[in-house]
Structure 1
Amino acid sequence: MKKFVYLIVIITTLSSCAKKEEVKNPGLAPETNRIEGSWKLVYADILENDSLQIKDLSNTDFIKIINRTHFAFFNQDRETSDNFMAGGGSYTFDGRSYKETLNFIASPDYRGHVFPFEVEIKGDSLIQKGHEKIEEAGLDRYIVEKYIRIK
């Protein structure tokens, strides 16, 4: 009987020393973690009032940073301090549906507004589509944006 007890103690001790797998972002599905990171806008089109505009990104940098609970974006003309814009807030993401709540931005009409998007992540690309509408600000447009992950 003593040998049996010693054997149980040894097995318990050894099993407690085993390396445990690290859990990253507990409670979140792996596909929702894929959105986290730093992203650079490489393509954007805007459909507004029956007019399609392809955004000229040749002289500007637009970066979006997404962590586990919040996002931030920054836009700056290259080689000048003109046209700087930034904003951020919280978001939800279930693997496809992505909703940004814009809490921080210079335009008061935009604050607190929820922007719903559909997101698709393919490799190092993030494609975001949605309808941006804020009546008080006169905003009513459909967007398609493509980002690449910054490594």
Structure 2
Amino acid sequence: MGKLLFYIFCFLAFNSCIELNNPPNIQGTWELLSATTIRNDSSIVQDLENKRMIKIINQHHFAFLNHDNNNGKDTTAHFVAGGGAYSLVGNQYKESLEYCNFRDWEGHNFTFSVFIKGDTLIQEGIEEIEELGIEQKIIEKYTRVKVGRKRNIYATPLM
């Protein structure tokens, strides 16, 4: 019985190590479901009711596009875009922001943890740009965009 438990333990330990070394499949198009920013002791949940954001990740690069749903024709006008190269080792995802309409953010690297649960991508980590006084934790949840789907209706994120 003791040997059986030992072999079961070794099997489970070996399999858990394999999962940690295999990065999640993050390639594809993702639509933002929720975004939380934590600065100091404050937590800000982004209102996405009148906005839409997608993140596109291919083999070596990422891009994000974020805009309001009113075609920029009222006081909710909003547009943010950026992209660059990324690396993924295990679940550690590192973005090198090469392009951004907030130009002071260009040239910075941001390291996040990423996890996939079903069709949900969870990305969390620290954004820090010392010269701009930015130090914040972000937690973003995305849903995988299915081929041919025109628009996602914002739903309660999976967790």
Say whether the fold is shared (TM-score over 0.5): yes
Task: Point out 4+ residue stretches in structure 1 off by more than 4 angstroms.
Answer: none
What is the correspondence of 1:57-136 to structure 2 with a 5 Å cutoff? Answer: 57-81=48-72, 82-136=77-131
* Whole-angstrom CA distance in 1 between matches of 2:104 and 2:80: 15
Aligned residues: 122
**Percentage identity across paired residues of the two chains:** 48
Letter in 1 for 2:88: F
What is the aligned-residue RMSD (CA, Å)?
A: 1.5
Segments of structure 2 that go 5 or more residues without pairing to the other structure are 1-21, 147-159
Alignment CA distance shift 1:135-1:37 (3 Å): same
Q: Distance in 1 between matches of 2:103 and 2:68?
A: 23
Tell me by how many angstroms 1:108 deviates.
2.9
Q: TM-score, normalised by structure 2?
A: 0.73
TM-score by length of 1: 0.76
In structure 1, how many angstroms separate the alpha carbons of the residues matched to 2:104 and 2:93?
Answer: 21
